[in-house]
Amino acid sequence: MIKDQEFLKSKASYCLDLAKKMGATDASVTVGHSISETVNFRNKSLEASDRSDGLALSIETYLGKKRSSISSSNLLDENIKNLIEKCFETTKITPEDEFNSLPDKNLLANQISSLNLYDETRFENDKKINYLKDLEESASSNNQIINTESSFTENKSNFILANSDGFCDGYKTSSFTTSCVTVAKDENSMERDYEFSSKRHLSDIKQATDLGNKAAKQTIRKLSPKKDWK
């Protein structure tokens, strides 16, 4: 399950407090969490199922016009403390740059608009598998199709951007992506083509049979091309 905003804000706040206590004049931190799940099929058989889960932060510390940054995927408090110490020590010996600074406060958003970028729907792996079974069956229905590959990926992410001027906000995003690659063959040629669907919301994804049929038709259409003589 994706980490909520409060968890990410608490980690961001902890980083900023530490950086200020160590002597940084300003600091900025990004904390993000992402989860990706993918199921792959080949020739109507399950080939692979993968899941990745990434939690990471990146912090910038300032000392006047000096700035340095560091990142890590270890969010334990003790590691964060060591990380910020290392970052600030590097900042001290970094050359000044007159353009190093946080954004002007009047440029910061006062309110984050809801752009409907996140779908709470959890598409379980067995549902991904059933979807791809239907997709592969439709893509293979013509005997000229000799090979199929398909996949379904679900991505969920959340992030927070915070700085020592008081800004702290972020948003969630989601994506659902499915694709089908088909190979067709006749007595004269062999061709390859594909079709895909990628949406923020699961309900907007193309139907499995429609996507499989379209991938197959596009591939078969390429077989034995005829030169258009004028």
As a residue count, the chain comes to 230
Q: Give 151-172 pLDDT, tens digit per residue.
A: 999 999 999 999 999 999 999 9
pTM score of the predicted model: 0.88
Give the tens place of pLDDT for each residue, 43-90.
999 999 999 999 999 999 999 999 999 999 999 999 999 999 999 999
Who's near 200: CB < 8 A, 6+ residues apart?
116, 117, 118, 119, 173, 174, 175, 176
Q: Could you identify the residue written with the tokens 């608009």?
A: 113
In CATH, 5-220 is 3.30.2290.10: yes
Give the whole-angstrom CA distance, residue 52 versus residue 36. Answer: 5
Confidence of residue 1 (pLDDT cuts 50, 70, 90): confident
C-alpha–C-alpha distance, residues 172 and 5, integer Å: 9
What are the start-end ranges of the H helices in the chain? 5-22, 77-92, 125-139, 208-220
Q: Which of 48, 170, 55, 70 is nearest to 118 (CA)?
A: 170
